[in-house]
């Protein structure tokens, strides 16, 4: 069940991300990829930890990163971040401890 729900969430986030990340910003692909990967990572953390939201600063930075990045590249970067988070959760085994660690590592990006 978790797999089906997760697959649907990943698909939805990638679709939304590809709609958002149209050519709207002026940042280079090199600058944008890590921001998009981070948003994918933290979007997965939001799902796993039931966080309320991601910061407006992070989402704004991500939205500005569309220029020069194809929709496929955006989808791949989001997926990379989400998969990294899932791998960490699986490795940690204790989701609550992992979630607390996310709050400590990204206090400016995650809204509990």
Q: Angle, nearest 10°, between helix axes 95-105 and 71-92? A: 130
Token pair belonging to 69: 């990045």
C-alpha radius of gyration, the chain, whole number: 14
Q: What values do phi and psi take at 111, rounded to 5?
A: -110, 115
Q: What are the domain boundaries of the chain?
A: 2-111
| pLDDT tens string 24-37 | 444 566 788 999 99
Look up the pTM and report it.
0.75
Quick one: pLDDT at residue 39?
95
**Distance separating alpha carbons of residues 22 and 35, to the nearest angstrom:** 15
Residue 4 has pLDDT above 90, yes or no: no
Provide mean pLDDT across the span 67-88.
Answer: 90
Quick one: pLDDT at residue 45?
97
pLDDT band at 70 (very low <50, low <70, confident <90, very high): confident
Closest to 105 measured CA to CA, from 37, 30, 45, 61: 45
């Amino acid at each position: 069940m978790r797999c089906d729900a997760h697959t649907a969430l990943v698909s939805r986030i990638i679709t939304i991300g590809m709609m958002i990340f149209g050519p709207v910003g002026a940042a280079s692909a090199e600058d944008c990829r890590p921001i998009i990967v981070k948003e994918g990572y933290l979007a997965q953390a939001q799902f796993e930890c039931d966080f309320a939201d991601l910061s407006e600063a992070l989402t704004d930075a991500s939205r500005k990163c569309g220029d020069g990045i194809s929709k496929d590249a955006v989808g791949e970067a989001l997926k990379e971040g989400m998969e990294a988070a899932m791998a960490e959760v699986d490795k940690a085994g204790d989701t609550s401890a992992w979630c607390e660690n996310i709050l400590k590592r990204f206090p400016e990006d995650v809204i509990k």
